[in-house]
Amino acid sequence: MKVLVINCGSSSLKYQLIDSESENALAVGICERIGQDISYLKHTPNGGEKIVIEAAMKNHEDAIKMVLDALTNSKYGVIKSLDEISAVGHRVVHGGEKFATSTIITDEVIQAIEDCNDLAPLHNPANLIGIRACAKLMKGVPMVAVFDTAFHQTMPPKAYLYGLPNEYYNNYKIRKYGFHGTSHSYVSQMAAKFIGRDINDSKIIVCHLGNGASISAVLNGKSIDTSMGFTPLAGLVMGTRSGDIDPSIIDFIAKKENKSLDEIMNVLNKESGMQGMSELSSDFRDLNDAIDIGNEKARIAFDVFVYRVAKYIGSYIVAMNGVDAIVFTAGVGENDWRVREEVCEYLGFLGIKIDLEKNMLRGQAVMLTQPECKVKVCIVPTNEELAIARETVSLL
């Protein structure tokens, strides 16, 4: 069957139409600058040229209309009629404690997602707009919500509770949730297959290193800890996010620079991380180029990033009392040989030595360690859209 996968952001909408039998994407695309004067639809049919359509999309409903028109267009479309779409899978960022698995979308589910808006005020409302627009335009087509947080709901209280007065958890559900769950789940399963282990008897550390980055400890197929927290700001140093910092810094900057909390949160989310430290870029391609020509700030930012990744890996080896495989995935994890090489330099005590030639390969699953290495290190490309399509099919 054909599944439309939708990932709605506040001003963008990414989509893929996936054939669940072949698991191929028949078309992929994105609507950008929704709600602004000029918006764009970029649509690429499988095997065809990317087309860019400029149009006014005043809201997400307009965007979804454009997507459905593109999918059925006589020149660059990939289906004859919308009846060919059997289901829609929606990425939803926050499912709180209510959703430990994906779920078929009903009115009650929409309400429950809305109840989680507080926890993800930037993301969940946008996801809901996408769900409501699809419900309106594709009446009767079943829809499934796949949550970024769901996979991590298996964490035990000792992993998800903060050292705060209990009332904050009781009253507001302040705890670690973790994100990128769809990717951590998909990649850990693929990695278990790749190393030839039963997922139900495995200890896998997934390093999802993209612009946003998180690491998880997956014991016997279940997440038992992860580096992002109550929000995606926690954990690793990221493209523009600070990751873990001493919370007192917020108060200190507020007083020194007479900044409001909102202003400081904006700095921590958008102006920190690799961008803030390097004063150059949040993109690892730019940072690598800069390191190659001796840029000191880029080098130090890289060191901080790699050191933090290595320390999280170390802590998750302790959490699982061992590890079978350490897996790199997402934009940086799949493409940046230097990150992988330097992270693995910290792991020599485990007997890990990676093949530097294989470490230059990209775009496929690659085993980086020698067969005699007990702990495997590998690259496994993530595919969140395919994971959402699989979840959607399995629920229907």
How far is the C-alpha of 62 from the C-alpha of 96, rounded, in Å?
29
**Which residue minimizes CB distance to ligand ADP?**
331
Q: Is residue 179 within the footprint of ligand ADP (CB under 6 A)?
A: no
Which position among 32, 336, 385, 391 is part of the footprint of ligand ADP (CB under 6 A)?
Answer: 336
Return the residues of window 2-21 that contact ligand ADP according to CB under 6 A: none
Alpha carbon of 98 to those of 147, 149, 156, 249, 394: distances in Å?
11, 10, 16, 33, 20
Alpha carbon of 143 to those of 256, 375, 394: distances in Å?
49, 40, 12
Contact assessment for residue 343 and residue 306, using Cβ atoms and an 8 Å cutoff: yes
Which position among 45, 96, 212, 229 is part of the footprint of ligand ADP (CB under 6 A)?
Answer: 212
Q: Is residue 116 within the footprint of ligand ADP (CB under 6 A)?
A: no
Q: Is residue 335 within the footprint of ligand ADP (CB under 6 A)?
A: yes
- Quickly tell me which residue has 């030595």 as its tokens: 353
Q: Is residue 331 within the footprint of ligand ADP (CB under 6 A)?
A: yes
HSE value, Cβ hemisphere, 13 Å, CA-based, for 317: 16
Which of helix, strand or coil describes residue 334? helix
Q: Mark residues 75-114: x for contact with ligand ADP by CB under 6 A, - for none.
A: ----------------------------------------
φ, ψ at 383 (rounded to 5°) = -155, 85
Which position among 154, 211, 220, 315 is part of the footprint of ligand ADP (CB under 6 A)?
Answer: 211
Q: Is residue 273 within the footprint of ligand ADP (CB under 6 A)?
A: no
Q: Is 246 one of the annotated active-site residues of the chain? A: no
Which amino acid does the sequence have at 14? K
Closest by Cα among 50, 1, 10 to 32: 10
Q: In angstroms, give the least distance from the CB of 199 to ligand ADP.
A: 23
Which of helix, strand or coil describes residue 268? helix
Of the residues 148, 225, 244, 262, only one is catalytic, namely 148
Q: Is residue 332 within the footprint of ligand ADP (CB under 6 A)?
A: yes
Active site residues: 148
Binding stretches for ligand ADP (CB under 6 A): 210-212, 239, 283-285, 330-332, 335-336
